[in-house]
Structure 1
């Protein structure tokens, strides 16, 4: 019998793997509702849904290997990263899902709250946080909504050679900003941004992508810390914030 592998485990959700089957147990059934619906609508490769019985969802493993891991060099080729960019463009060109996402103002309120927490708890230098908060504001402009994955980490994009074979974890899919998906994919991997844009085509805005890097890193840090992850791992969120700050200082 295959061993049970704990892929993710925290108070909100747990994902187990047994052979080629992933079992996701989520405290919030609306996330699984979104995941199943989004995978049914997405025009790019997604996992096969094997069965659904709340609070659990069983899906099949997708072939290939992930583009990489945050904080480590990616083993994937530039062509594979470009293929990921092309797949994202196909998703963004698809019809919008029927559900909406957070407004710009809601995101701004969340951003200000998390920056205040980071400063109050002396997590990072206040001038570093304030600088990245200013950069993050660039992302908070009006945008034309597209079908976004919403959590397009490199561990969620699988490739075989130079072909995208599957994109997983769709629970955050919504109508959102196209540049957000591009930013999450390249967070901590700026060296592959040009490859992704080459595959994505027209419309990519590097300044907005960089702004989303800062915004995501500022807003995710407390959640990561409280759920057993370390944003201070080399190459991860705190390094993204430091890199932006140090580049500005010359």
Structure 2
């Protein structure tokens, strides 16, 4: 029998790997439903769904290696990063799915969420007030009207797999749906600003870099508490808190 490896485990979801099969155990069946439907609609390489027996979803591993990891230098080539940008563009150009995704919260909802998290971060002494204030002000640039596109919603570099500078698979689609294109591009380049130009070149159209950088502040401010409460470390070198510190 192949070794069972715990890929990620927290109160919302546990993912196990057994050989070339990933088993996702999710407390929220609606999230699994969305993941399966989004993968079927997305015009980019996605994992093969092997079977579903609630609360478990079994999917096949995709070939290649992850584009990188947050907090670690990426060994992927500029061409691989550009290929990721091109794949994201194909996704964004696809017909809209019928539901909003993580990247589709309204401006009002985002502003309220940011204000709540900023207050929590300062009140509990998690981050210095000046750091929180600076990033909350920077985040304001992202809080503008946008035209919704088909978004992944959690496009971390660890979710994008490449081989020979080609995209072989994009995984973890539970946050997929309608949303802001620049949210996806910001998530993909979070903590890897040096590759933003490669991604935009592959994406193939003008984008507002100021909005992408503003989304980095949004993701950091909204993510710190969740990461802490779910057993992750946003203070690890190169991760969310360092991204917040790097904002001017």
TM (norm. structure 1) is 0.97
Query: In the TM superposition, what are the counterparts of 1:53-202 in structure 2 within 5 Å?
Result: 53-100=53-100, 101-202=104-205
Structure 1 position 233 matched with structure 2 position 240 = no
CA RMSD, 1 decimal: 0.7
Q: Distance in 1 between matches of 2:133 and 2:140?
A: 11
State the number of aligned residues: 245
CA apart distance, 1:14: 0.2
Identify the residue that residue 45 of structure 1 maps to in structure 2.
Answer: 45
CA apart distance, 1:82: 0.2
Q: Distance in 1 between matches of 2:88 and 2:57?
A: 24
Q: Distance in 2 between matches of 1:32 and 1:103?
A: 23
Q: Distance in 1 between matches of 2:157 and 2:151?
A: 15
TM (norm. structure 2) is 0.98
**Residues 159-211 of structure 1, C-alpha deviations (whole Å, 9 max, x = no match):** 00210000000000010000000000000000000000000011311100000
Give the SS at the match of 1:152.
Answer: coil
Of residues 101-110 and 58-67 in structure 1, the stretch that sits farther from structure 2 once superposed is 101-110
Superposition misfits of 4+ residues, deviation over 3 angstroms: none
Question: Is there any run of 5+ residues in structure 2 with no aligned partner, and where?
Answer: none
